[in-house]
């Protein structure tokens, strides 16, 4: 989900697991130590960069729950993260229903 500003809540790798740097436990002893805690308290609200954005216009492509994202830090400042893309993490099936795309469809030109 997003907040009113279109930011998403994500977990950095250092926020994951029983020995994470934020010192919050899982809340459940049955969870794997490598799993992220099932708590919104361990997430961070981060802006999502868009290919086209401005006042009252633009596009919005919001990553979905479970997607892996690529994060950059503005001016190298760890307190200023921004999502700059998403990366396939090997989960899911490439031949799932509805994924039948041919090369011909990908190369179609649209006349202007």
Tell me the per-residue pLDDT of 2-45, one tens digit each, with 9 for 90 and over. 888 889 998 887 776 655 554 444 444 554 555 555 556 678 89
Number of domains present in the structure of the chain? 1
**Which residues on adjacent β-strands are paired with residue 57?**
54
The verdict on residue 3 lying in a domain is no
* Tens digits of residue pLDDT in 48-80: 998 888 888 888 888 888 888 999 999 999 999
Q: What share of the chain is helix, strand, coil (3-state, %, to 5)?
A: 10, 25, 65
Pairing mode, if any, of strands 81-87 and 44-48?
Answer: parallel
The dihedrals phi and psi of 58, each to the nearest 5 degrees, come to 135, -170
> What is this structure's pTM?
0.62
Say if 112 falls within a structural domain.
no
In a domain, 38, yes or no: yes
1 within a domain of the structure (yes/no): no
**Both ends of the chain: CA-CA distance in Å?**
36
Domain at 12, CATH number = 2.40.50
């Amino acid at each position: 989900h997003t907040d009113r500003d279109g930011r998403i809540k994500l977990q950095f790798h250092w926020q994951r697991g029983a020995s994470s740097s934020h010192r919050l436990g899982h809340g459940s002893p049955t969870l794997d130590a490598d799993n992220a805690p099932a708590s919104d308290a361990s997430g961070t609200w981060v802006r999502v960069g868009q290919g086209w954005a401005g006042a009252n216009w633009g596009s919005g492509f919001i990553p979905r729950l479970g997607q892996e994202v690529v994060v950059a830090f503005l001016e190298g400042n760890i307190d200023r993260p921004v999502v700059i893309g998403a990366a396939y993490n090997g989960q899911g099936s490439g031949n799932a229903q509805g994924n039948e795309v041919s090369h011909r469809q990908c190369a179609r030109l649209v006349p202007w």
